[in-house]
Amino acid sequence: MATIASDLSGGIPIEREYVLVDRPEPGVRDAVNVWIEEQTGAFALRLGVEAVAEGWDRHELWLDVAFPDGRLYQRRIAADTLPAIGPEGLPTIRGTGPMTFRCVEPFRLWTAAFEGEADALTTQTLIDTPIPDESQLLQSDIGIDLAMTMAAVPWIPGSLLPEAAEALGGEQGDFMSPRYEQLFRCEGSLRIDGEEHAFRGNGLRIRRTGFRAFSGFAGHCWQSAIFPSGKGFGFNVYPPREDGQPSYAEGFILDESGTRIPARPVEVPWLRQLVTRGESVPFVLETVDGRRVEVAGETFVNVRSRGHAVLPPDFPIVQQAHARYVWDGEETVGMIERSSKPSVIKL
């Protein structure tokens, strides 16, 4: 097991961990999102709170609790904003309605909790009906308590490769907004209709603050995971652009000492079909020091992003999924999010 660095900030100012208290200018959002995989792949979670300037009094809540057998529990609401000031007198809480994130120790320890109802449906339902009739969905009682201990320094997209920084300096930067991502390990409990499961798992935390827009977005492939030894990876890549300009493509590997080496994704599993699980998602990264890193992967939970509105023609379909990864014989579980235009997906 790698020794965790004493400084996990990666040079990011501590203030970036604190949430915005006051409504920002239009178009700006302040968000905390996490992806979590139970360590054996028994289930996976995705939780998020999006504080959008235009709806500052009612932040958006995202919840997915998904199982390999296709069961899915979801919540998509805008609820009353919770106070941002935590017990230490600092803006450490991003919460809305039944969901709360708290920064306990910047870049080291965060907690998350959810207590409320969620829609009970299936992953196949969202493939067939991305905007389900909510009045027909049954409700389940969900309780989640999590403690997330960060396991690596954060990655700021655009900070590792000069060509990636250049790509994000234009329109492509608007697609993800200023952010950083941090791999972690976690422990907690999940309760569904009175049945409680204590668990340990892996995860990825995303902290975003800034302007975000999707006009011109054509898709992406984003994968990340940490292994028991301390090795890890992360990358994000956009598909080739119609105007012939370079697309954003950037990633990294972590070695067992926790050292991060920049890398370029050269083979990626673009989204070309919608299935509920069992999809092969291998990839290849080439590091700046000349190594070729091949990682095998297979999804155990695939969730099509749940829609609420009619999107522009051929706007990318988004799939949030979780996968088992194998790198040089070592296995772990991690996240994968992909999107592609409907015109290239087998529906």
| One-character DSSP codes across 143-210 | EEEEEEEE-S--B-TTSS-HHHHHHHTTHHHHTT-SEEEEEEEEEEEEEETTEEEEEEEEEEEEEEEE
CB 85 within 8 Å of CB 77 = no
Q: Please, which residues have CB within 8 angstroms of residue 92's CB and are 6 or more apart in sequence? A: 17, 18, 19, 84, 85, 86, 102, 103, 104
- DSSP 8-state class, residue 85: B
Q: Please, which residues have CB within 8 angstroms of residue 101's CB and are 6 or more apart in sequence? A: 32, 34, 47, 49, 93, 94, 95, 110, 111, 112
CB atoms within 10 A of CB 20: 16
pLDDT at 191: 98
Structure confidence at residue 5 as a pLDDT band (50, 70, 90): low
Question: pLDDT tens digits for 22-47?
Answer: 999 999 999 999 999 999 999 999 99
Separation of alpha carbons 203 and 34, rounded Å: 7
Q: Does 309 score more than 70 pLDDT?
A: no
Separation of alpha carbons 303 and 318, rounded Å: 9
Separation of alpha carbons 338 and 320, rounded Å: 7
Average pLDDT over residues 270-274: 97
* Exposed / middle / buried, residue 233 (Cβ in 10 Å: 0-12, 13-18, 19+): buried
Question: pLDDT tens digits for 37-84?
Answer: 999 999 999 999 999 999 999 999 999 999 999 999 999 999 999 999
CB 184 within 8 Å of CB 203 = yes
pLDDT at 217: 86
Average pLDDT over residues 279-300: 98
Structure confidence at residue 312 as a pLDDT band (50, 70, 90): confident
Structure confidence at residue 310 as a pLDDT band (50, 70, 90): low
Its pTM stands at: 0.95
CB 184 within 8 Å of CB 236 = no
- DSSP 8-state class, residue 318: E
CB 260 within 8 Å of CB 33 = no
Tokens of 247: 């697309």
Long-range contacts of range 290-294, CB-CB < 8 Å, 24 or more positions apart? 291/253, 291/261, 293/233, 293/253, 293/263, 293/327, 294/327
Going by C-alpha positions, the residue among 88, 13, 107, 97 that lies closest to residue 61 is 97
